[in-house]
Amino acid sequence: REDHHAEVMIRRASFNSTDGIADITGPLSRKLGLFYRANFYGRKAESFRDLAWNDNWLFNPSLTWRIRPGTTLSADAEFD
């Protein structure tokens, strides 16, 4: 994405669960054609069962380099 953009969502639900999502994107350097994006996801939840819970975390960064018109190099990663 060529402009800075950020979106955040937090949700509470049953069994004391909380979900959080963040998505940020924008240019690192328009002059060099470098752009970034990062997605974050987290969940912390209990259960109706004793000693059961659900904790998940995910981070997904990416970097794009527009070398010239018609040529793009992207690097993506996922950490869970």
Render pLDDT for 12-49 as a digit per residue (tens, 0 to 9).
988 788 999 999 999 999 999 999 999 999 998 877 77
Instruction: Provide mean pLDDT across the span 54-76.
Output: 93
How does the average pLDDT of the chain come out, rounded?
A: 90
Q: What is the CA radius of gyration of the chain?
A: 17
Task: Return the exposure string of 56-74: e unless at least 16 CB atoms fall within 10 Å of the residue's CB, then b.
Answer: eeeeeeeebebeeeeeeee
Question: Is 51's pLDDT higher than 80?
Answer: no
pLDDT of residue 13: 85
Confidence at 1, pLDDT banded by 50, 70, 90: low
Rounded to two decimals, the pTM is 0.77
